[in-house]
Amino acid sequence: MAAKIAPKAISAISRPSTIAPALRNARGHAAAVEPPAPGPGVARAYYRDGDVRTNWRRSEIQKIFDGPLMETIFRAATVHRMHHDASRIQMCTLMNIKTGGCSEDCKYCSQSSRYSTETKATRLVDIEPVLEAARQAKANGSTRFCMGAAWRDLAGRKSGFEKILKMVTEVRGMGMEVCTTLGMLSPEQAKRLKEAGLSAYNHNLDTSREFYPEVISTRSYDERLATIEAVRQAGISVCSGGILGLGEKDEDRVGLIHEVSRMPAHPESFPVNTLVPIEGTPLEKNDPVEVHTVLRTIATARIVLPNTIIRLAAGRHTFSETEQAMAFMAGANAIFTGERMLTTPCSGWDEDKSMLGRWGLRGQRSFEDQESLEIPQAQTEAAVSATA
Ligand code: SF4
């Protein structure tokens, strides 16, 4: 006679769970999520993989990060399938709309005016070339168009900001998600970007709070968090992730994930960049980051941030196709595609579409699950007449 399986046991088998210590022991490794410690007035709480939580403890995340890599990837792949269509990878294109001459001192960046690199400072690009680049990106399958400007903030850039607002409205009017990365923002500037139709704003935390001062001194961690808060308050999606290979340790990679996991709402997007060392920058001689570290970071982020889009960003060209496929298995579900990614090389659309096809993956449609494409008609018309 077949043994009866209790309903609770079935659920534990079909969905990785933190409930039963026996199940955890039977697996022989630390695959389970450690619940918050109960204390006076704090009831013991249990969580399951796939739960969206903003009360992660750093030790819990470290335990996931340190687990056997293949198990962590399997677990992340399972969480991924609870929240996303695992056959879809979003293709995004990033355009530099203002290059170089930045007053900040981010040690990895070729656009800082403090370092002697080959990157030459340019003025803010005109509207039409940006729109042409967005059209080309859309025609090639990108559904998100990001615009980056190398500067500390928008102070004293009134006309430049107006121009960027028009770019945002126009690109959004093409049916693409629009993201910008323009340095620090005030709440008022964030509000105006939202009104122009901005879908998302990128502002990376880069690394853990402790390691951050080793990399940047001109802008504090808390200033970064304040910009992210302004973006969130304006109703814009938050894109905030980090860079691997800055000289940080595993604890810092965990610290970064912990920081974003504790935000009142997780960032909708978490880019994982790997350092592309640039001659002339203080980090030019840094060792390349190992693919296992990248996979471990992505898998951990996927488990901790189940709903978030995880972007395999700068440095992807240094990984083989198989390594990239492992990253998709670990939970990455967006890539940057196009001719360049800011100042670093990038894979082209045809190359990426062929790669995705070989692994049974396909591009993601814009706003597939989340947003409406509607933009107030008046905004689109105003932008068209202003650029005509
Ligand atoms: S990363 Fe951004 S803020 Fe930092 S130096 Fe480069 S362009 Fe400036």
* 112 Cβ below 6 A of ligand 1: yes
Query: How many Å apart are CA 65 and CA 384, to the nearest integer?
Result: 49
For 298-323, how does the pLDDT look when each residue is reduced to its tens digit (9 = 90+)? 999 999 999 999 999 999 999 999 99
For 141-160, how does the pLDDT look when each residue is reduced to its tens digit (9 = 90+)? 899 999 999 999 998 899 99
- Measured between alpha carbons, how far is residue 363 from residues 83, 89, 146, 339 in Å? 17, 5, 17, 18
Average pLDDT of the chain?
Answer: 85
The whole-number pLDDT of residue 158 equals 92
Evaluate the CA torsion angle 53, 57, 58, 61 in order and state its sign.
negative
How buried is residue 247: exposed, middle or buried, by Cβ count under 10 Å (0-12/13-18/19+)? Answer: middle
* 149 Cβ below 6 A of ligand 1: no
User: Which residue out of 75, 92, 146, 157 is catalytically annotated?
Assistant: 146
Residue 387 falls within a domain, yes or no? no
What is the residue range of 302's domain?
88-366
92 among known catalytic residues:
no
Nearest CA, atom 4, ligand 1: 106
Residue 355 falls within a domain, yes or no? yes
More confident residue, 120 or 67: 67
Contact 230, 190 (CB under 8 A): yes
Give the DSSP letter string of 89-105: EEEEEEEEEE-S-B---
Residue 10 falls within a domain, yes or no? no
Residue 2 falls within a domain, yes or no? no
Mean pLDDT of 210-217: 97
CA of 352 to the centre of ligand 1 (A): 27
Query: How many Å apart are CA 327 and CA 276, to the nearest integer?
Result: 18
Give the pLDDT band of residue 14 (cuts 50, 70, 90). very low
- Is 388 a residue whose pLDDT tops 50? no
Three-point CA angle 45, 49, 51, nearest 5°: 65
The whole-number pLDDT of residue 364 equals 80
Three-point CA angle 71, 77, 81, nearest 5°: 150
Q: Which pTM does this prediction carry?
A: 0.83
* pLDDT > 90 fraction of the chain, expressed in percent and rounded: 74
Q: Which residues contact 63 (CB under 8 A, 6 or more apart)?
A: 30, 34
CA of 197 to the centre of ligand 1 (A): 24
Closest atom of ligand 1 to 110 CA is 6
Residue 24 falls within a domain, yes or no? no
Residue 217 falls within a domain, yes or no? yes
CATH number of residue 191's parent domain: 3.20.20.70
Per 3-state DSSP, the chain is made up of helix, strand and coil in percentages (nearest 5) of: 40, 15, 45
Q: Please tell me the total count of domains within the chain.
A: 1
Residue 75 falls within a domain, yes or no? no
